[in-house]
Structure 1
């Protein structure tokens, strides 16, 4: 008669063999087939709208299902044609080597320098976001593309202020000097002119120029629209606050939340929405829908902001309805 120990030997061997086979099979199983996404941002990490758009893309394309390769063109801090074309060539080379399932691009320079010259008659699907107002000046006829435009609520912002400043007529736009600001200049002239404003636009390259225009603007205009400042060389946050405190006489307004430390009132677009919508369009394409069957959309989200400290300095006292909706900065 066999002992119990002898009977257990083949059982143990069978169990060990089964565990080995199971482990081997699990190692041999392919992982989840992640979709490869290349994301190209026109600007740099640390620039608030870029960070917010990027956050939206990553939030909607989780790492367990998508492999995202991100590239930043850094064209606000390096606006020369030579730099932009060199940086674009390097990113394009990486895209061709990676051969992604889809390309997402953010803001005008990525569209202008990367997509338009290099993806005509190319089947790679593309989704753009953060492109201001319109794509009419870009030849996208041969591109497999859709996206979301960024429209700033500038007329709504000015109209919200008019009841508090009924004599408001002369408006100064104080902005950085970039591809996007030069593109939007005639659009702002038309939009603000249509609501009865007399518009002057100053596009500056450096902080000293910004200071000079700002001081002059408070003496000669009824309202100043502070558009953005990411490409203004030598920008000094603390010094800007001091200049504003010393010279503010008129409402300072903006459509960008990161400009609220310098503005009295803001009706701002939500940059993260751009990345979220672009990612959702990308997922739809990756499930089989053609980009041509996905209409180009426009942003819908906005926030009201009030800088309580600066509002007090110029005596801006909005009504209860605005106060109840507003986010506060001091």
Structure 2
């Protein structure tokens, strides 16, 4: 507690790949951005090898804590899930367009979406984020960092990242929120490689609603909204970055039910064998497992 206020302390593990540069990046970025759907920085501490960041305390932990737990996911009804989807999109819109700095998050995933006491989402963990000048569209790096399952194909294989890389990660998140399963939870050798491929198979058979989490099917009356979210999610997962919508377009498509949506093309299955081979045999790359945070958030 700080002056009677609950806080969360992110303690950087000594074994973490995040070094002093990433730590400073996170501090600089969070100190300069303010939005209702972004985590708020309260302070930090560096003492020898110990590095800590102090945030507002999020009593409901992170999205993955609920979404991928068979018992806890029942607490996420569809209205709550849609609010989380929209809130993440609003946070990304601020980062991509309305903040003083154009910021590419590069590690958007369920464990980096914190939930406040009203289950409102807060994007967190900016240690891998990159700042763009407003006139810069994309950049290239040989040092690829991020998380299997959420990584856009052009970034995973060529090191090219842009706002559309975050849009791809957002598309994976949307499907996970609708389905209640991790992207990499498919292990049948004869079946789909991941949730993205499974969603595409169902979409191609005009059976997209079979993707919906079983805990929602008995109580959800927003069938059209569910279908629209799956549709938008697949549009965000286009193989070519230029074919993906901007996050501003995504919000319009989610909120305007009368808006006609383009048909999605064949999406990129980033955990497919060819991409996985590139990742596992490449150089200067840092990846965390799907859904695994590189740091711990503890209430104080």
TM bin, normalised by shorter chain, reads under 0.3
Give me the TM-score of the superposition, normalised by structure 2.
0.26
Q: Which has the larger radius of gyration?
A: 1
Could you tell me the TM-score, scaled by structure 1's length?
A: 0.24
Higher strand share: 1
Question: Of the two structures, which has the highest relative contact order with CA contacts closer than 8 Å and spacing of 6 or more?
Answer: 2
The structure whose residues are more often helix, as a share, is 1
